[in-house]
Amino acid sequence: MIIAVDGPAASGKGTLARRIASHLHYAYLDTGKIYRAVGHAVLGAGGDPEDLDAALAAARALNAADLANSELASDIAAVAASKVAALEPVRAVLLGFQKDFAASPPCGLGGAVLDGRDIGTVVCPDAEVKLFVTADVEVRARRRHKELLDKGEASIYPRVLKALKDRDARDSNRSAAPLIAAADAIVVDTTAMDPDEAFASAFGYIQKHTD
């Protein structure tokens, strides 16, 4: 069983995907971390995430241990991820890793939950369940702003809002695997939902689909 969870930043898709995986005892992969790790590596080497050669070198050198870096949660890494993800050759290098994870979940688990921006459309177009998690950008910005403040990081709401709008535009308008809902995806709008309500909505669909 493969469950694809897509959506824009701060929509709640990561929280939802992790909870689904835990509940079903499935393997979980935050595919955004792959791109964050590549972008972070490029920045760490003093390069530009939009430089194809630098991004390709970082993608080819990536290993699973790199995904555990706590610095990948930063907004700097998120912006870098969006830039390297717009480079089609980089996406091609990283696509195989994601497909292998979905097809053969680690530890012999019976399924995999992958979250990202093109799981249902590109990485796992044949996934049995596809969810597209979204929310109004203002709500997403408030969530991200609060998250940063709770971590003790400096945050200014208007800047967070602008960064999310800019990222949405890059992710939706890029030529390589743009952020769109798969035609057969179920849309979960979390604008007025808390995490428990989002899980109940999504899991109800999964149960109906898999019974």
Say if 209 falls within a structural domain: no
Contact 114, 5 (CB under 8 A): yes
- Asked whether residue 170 is assigned to any structural domain, the reply reads yes
Establish if 58 belongs to a structural domain.
Answer: yes
Residue 71 near residue 77 (C-beta atoms within 8 A): yes
Average pLDDT for residues 49-64, to the nearest whole number? 93
Domain assignment of residue 50, yes or no: yes
Q: For 16-33, what is each residue's pLDDT tens digit? A: 999 999 999 999 999 989
Of 208, 207, 209, 187, give the one whose Cα is nearest residue 198.
187
Looking at residue 23, its pLDDT comes to 96
> Does 210 map to a domain?
no
Assess whether pLDDT exceeds 70 at residue 211. Answer: no
Tell me if 112 is assigned to some domain.
Answer: yes
DSSP secondary structure letters along the chain = -EEEEE--TTSSHHHHHHHHHHHHT-EEEEHHHHHHHHHHHHHHTT--TT-HHHHHHHHHH--GGGGG-GGGGSHHHHHHHHHHHT-HHHHHHHHHHHHHHHHS-GGG-S-EEEEESSIIIII-TT-SEEEEEE--HHHHHHHHHHHHHHTT----HHHHHHHHHHHHHHHHH-SSS-S---TTPEEEE-TT--HHHHHHHHHHHHHHHH-
pLDDT 10s digits, 98-140: 998 999 998 889 999 999 989 999 999 999 999 999 999 999 9
Boundaries of domain holding 21: 2-204
- Per the CB < 8 A criterion, the answer to whether 83 and 49 are in contact is yes
CATH number for the domain including 156?
Answer: 3.40.50.300
14 falls within a domain:
yes
pLDDT cut 70: percent of the chain above it: 100
Give me the number of domains the chain comprises. Answer: 1
The reply to whether 103 falls in a domain is yes
**How far is Cα 3 from Cα 34, in angstroms, rounded to an integer?**
18
The angle formed by the CA atoms of residues 7, 13 and 19, to the nearest 5 degrees, is 155
